[in-house]
Structure 1
Amino acid sequence: MAQSIARLNTGSDIRFGMQSDDWTICSELLAEPSRFDLWRKDLAEWMVEQYGESDDRATAGYIMGWYLHQPAYLAGLLFHTARRVPSLKPRDMAFHLATDGRPHPDGIALFSDEFTCLPDDPASNHPAATVVANEAALAAVLRARYAAHAAQFVASFGQVVRFGRRQLWAAATDMLEYAPWAAGRLLGDENAGVTDAALILPEKIEPFVAASSLHFTDEGWKRKRNSCCFHYVLPNAEPCTACPRTCNNR
């Protein structure tokens, strides 16, 4: 595939067909859970610089969310913008970590041409395309592909943290809901992003722990988070918006 780069106004890149020593291939990371410990060590050093100390719950919570955001955002963005679902297999994805401070992912790479789309997609006759009948079917493909990737993460990351399966799947649910909403906000149509989230998570569907909870309030769109990143345990750290442990986010 010819290399193309979509640079977003989020401080991160989504790259198609990129491979480099600077990128971590998801399948390789998941195959060696001990590498998560090295990532957490780097994060802990940054936390000490920022907050005076680190916390095992916070390093685990941050990385749980950061990792799950990668397949969720790739899927949510392409679903929102093009009504396409790419391959989300760990071997087909990689991410890049920032090297100038906080070690968070600042780029996503996709190595596969395969995608699923709707009948009216202009590339529906492409050899790499699989066509489904309607948006509900496309959303089901997205859920299944994301769930398959998330299941491998839960199995791998669960070996090196004290979080249970419910907490890990709660985080996977949160990221799947957040991704299309974030894409809508980024591209100027938040309402459409909310609609996409409801299409992807219309009800509680296993293995996810809840339906989309996005609802409109006097302060705009809000949601009920199911998981916690434990940012609030750091010294002098403000809780995240809608933190499920410290505030009423219903």
Structure 2
Amino acid sequence: MRVQQVVRDARHTGQACPGAGGLADSLRRVDELQSRIELRTGRPGDGRWRRCCDLLETPYLFTRWRADLATWLSARHGVAPARTTASYVASWYLRVPAYVGALLLHHERRVPALRPEELTLRVAAEGRPNPDGVAVLGESFYCLPSDPGSALPEATVVADDRALAAVLRARYTAHAARFVQAYREVSPLGPRALWAAATDALDSCLWWAGLDGGDEGSGVADAALVLESRFAPLTSASTLCTVAATDGHREWTRSRESCCFSYLLPERAECAGCPRVRGDGRCRARKPPLDGFAFP
């Protein structure tokens, strides 16, 4: 099935209708529809939380994060290649603004500012050191004229769905640009690889928002709306497509733009959908698990 057909067919009838409350009310509603991560508002008191801007302004913190991941990988595989740890941490970080933005666009037709100063993440204290919590500190949001909260002082009204999708793309890309600039200083990944990871994060998270909320098709439609073509420096349009499952039915999947370098671990091969795999084998990525920001 072509993504364009899904865009034409989707009417988002299964999505929650926002109330007259502000962004905090929206976040509480969408949090009930997902189980990947703890989602909250306000500045947490726990010392394990870090604002995204603090990470970007002190890139050494990414080096420490990668070291924690290297310890975890080494305990399980005996090695922790630098490109593998760099790719995992990049993808985990980028999924923070991408998933928050995707959830709110999909379920509430609202888009938060997504500034690094207004997002805080928490890395799991035990086990795999991926983000297990995200807090949104800001109150401003973009919305449609029909939004009951459009008269709130923190609301900025845009004309229609296409304009709102453009806002999400712009706000996310602005955050990702700051990440790419900071992270390339402390990792072996270049700008092209990092922008590919940023593209994967946004496309995947829009898909997940629909899948997690029980309406996978409308998540695919949102991905096609936000990434209807390539918007540089993002590296592609949405790559979501359908393939035949083992029982013959069609299911959604996507091709990756970035490589996670898991194949560098012992007894591991390239993932399904990896950009290293050419031809028809690319669009074979498995459905995403529901256990947080698991990667790959």
TM-score range, shorter chain: over 0.9
Q: Distance in 2 between matches of 1:245 and 1:11?
A: 28
| Match of residue 292 from structure 2 | none
- Check the 8 A contact 1:124/1:131 in 2, yes or no: yes
Q: Counterparts in 2 of 1:55-74, with a 5 A limit?
A: 55-74=81-100
Q: Distance in 1 between matches of 2:66 and 2:33?
A: 26
Taking only aligned residues, the RMSD between alpha carbons, in angstroms, comes to 1.7
Displacement of 1:8: 5.5
- Check the 8 A contact 1:64/1:171 in 2, yes or no: yes
Question: Mind listing any 5+ residue stretches in structure 2 that lack a counterpart?
Answer: 1-21, 246-250, 284-296
CA deviation profile, 1:114-155 (whole Å, cap 9, x unmatched): 000001111111110000000000001001100100000000
- Check the 8 A contact 1:86/1:115 in 2, yes or no: yes
Q: Distance in 2 between matches of 1:8 and 1:133?
A: 27
| Match of residue 13 from structure 1 | 38
Q: Distance in 2 between matches of 1:128 and 1:214?
A: 34
Moved more, 169-178 or 5-14: 5-14
1:179 equivalent in alignment to 2:210: no
Q: Counterparts in 2 of 1:44-55, with a 5 A limit?
A: 44-55=70-81
- Check the 8 A contact 1:7/1:14 in 2, yes or no: no
Question: Mind listing any 5+ residue stretches in structure 1 that lack a counterpart?
Answer: none
Q: Distance in 1 between matches of 2:77 and 2:83?
A: 14
Displacement of 1:203: 0.4
Q: Distance in 2 between matches of 1:102 and 1:74?
A: 21
CA deviation profile, 1:158-200 (whole Å, cap 9, x unmatched): 0011211111101111111111101111111110000000000
How many pairs align? 250
Given candidates 100, 121, 126, the residue that maps to 2:147 is 121
SS of the aligned residue for 1:113 comes to coil
1:188 equivalent in alignment to 2:214: yes
SS of the aligned residue for 1:161 comes to coil
Q: Distance in 1 between matches of 2:227 and 2:219?
A: 12
Letter of the 2:59 counterpart: P
Displacement of 1:246: 4.3
SS of the aligned residue for 1:37 comes to helix
- Check the 8 A contact 2:33/2:213 in 1, yes or no: no
Given candidates 253, 257, 260, the residue that maps to 1:222 is 253
Percent of pairs identical after alignment?
Answer: 46
| Match of residue 238 from structure 2 | 212
Letter of the 2:276 counterpart: R
Q: Counterparts in 2 of 1:65-144, with a 5 A limit?
A: 65-144=91-170
- Check the 8 A contact 2:34/2:213 in 1, yes or no: no
1:32 equivalent in alignment to 2:65: no
- Check the 8 A contact 2:82/2:188 in 1, yes or no: no
Letter of the 1:14 counterpart: L
CA deviation profile, 1:192-236 (whole Å, cap 9, x unmatched): 000000000000111111111111222311212110111121112
Moved more, 38-47 or 213-222: 213-222
- Which TM-score applies when normalising by structure 2? 0.81
Q: Distance in 1 between matches of 2:110 and 2:271?
A: 31
- Which TM-score applies when normalising by structure 1? 0.95
